[in-house]
Amino acid sequence: MRLILPLLLAPLPALACEEPIDFPPDEAIVLLEEIRDGADLDLRAQFDYQRLLCADDQFIRDQARAIGRASEVEAIRAAAIRSAIFEKDVLNLTILPADGMSDAAIAMMEANPIISYQVAFVDRAAGCVSLNETARCNPTYLASLSGTEMDLKFNKAVAKLRLTDNGRMVGVWSNGESLGAITQQVELRLD
């Protein structure tokens, strides 16, 4: 099953990453350790974290996102999600097994365990990702990110996902059909 879904994200200053930032590894290590250890981060540290997400070194960005998703600071957790989504070529929703699944839901999971959304266009300034048009974000099909929650809508299909305490983006997806409705537990891969 292939779904197409534009992603409208709340813009965050300094996350544009129009050009990669040369972030010295020693500085990155100090900041990431502060975030990982749950230090009481001042505003400067939060802005520096935004810069880390734009580092020219892929390993630094990956570590920043992984550690950021586990942060106690809501703004850092939200920035980590946005950064991960902006860098993806494909967004994958993995269907998770759950108690009480209908026969139709089980059949769908067995036939298509991953729902993939091909990224067609990213507009960092507008804070959106289009999954169907190559020159703009189409508001007809969208996902909106508010803090650590994401609402997805594609035609009749809808989903609600939330970043959990262990850094996973999980929630519920439904095909939205009045006849033959299928609801699935899903996870949006952020790595």
Span 23-42, pLDDT tens digits: 888 989 988 888 888 766 77
Residue 179 is classified by DSSP as S
With respect to residue 18, please indicate whether it lies within any of the assigned structural domains: no
With respect to residue 168, please indicate whether it lies within any of the assigned structural domains: yes
Confidence of residue 57 (pLDDT cuts 50, 70, 90): very high
Determine the residue type at 111: A
Same domain, 182 and 126: yes
Dmax (CA) for the chain in angstroms is: 57
Tens of pLDDT, residues 101-159: 889 999 989 998 998 878 888 777 777 777 787 888 777 777 777 889 887 877 888 88
Same domain, 124 and 138: yes
Tens of pLDDT, residues 62-86: 999 999 998 888 889 999 998 998 8
What is the predicted pLDDT for the residue at 9? 34
* 74 Cβ neighbours under 8 A, 6+ residues apart: 147, 148
Q: CA torsion sign, 32 to 38 to 43 to 47?
A: positive
With respect to residue 153, please indicate whether it lies within any of the assigned structural domains: yes
Show which of 38, 57, 86 is a domain's final residue: 86
Same domain, 65 and 142: no
What is the predicted pLDDT for the residue at 16? 57
With respect to residue 2, please indicate whether it lies within any of the assigned structural domains: no
Same domain, 92 and 153: yes
Same domain, 61 and 80: yes
Cα of 113 vs its chain's centroid, Å: 19
Q: What is d(CA 83, CA 124) in angstroms, rounded to the nearest whole number?
A: 10
Same domain, 92 and 183: yes
Show which of 36, 61, 86 is a domain's final residue: 86
| 10 vs 76, more confident | 76
Domain hosting residue 93, numbered range: 7-12+88-188
Based on the structure, what is the number of domains in the chain? 2
With respect to residue 17, please indicate whether it lies within any of the assigned structural domains: no
pLDDT at residue 53 tops 90: yes
Same domain, 92 and 165: yes
Element holding 145 (H helix, E strand)? strand 142-146
pLDDT exceeding 90 applies to what percent of the chain? 28
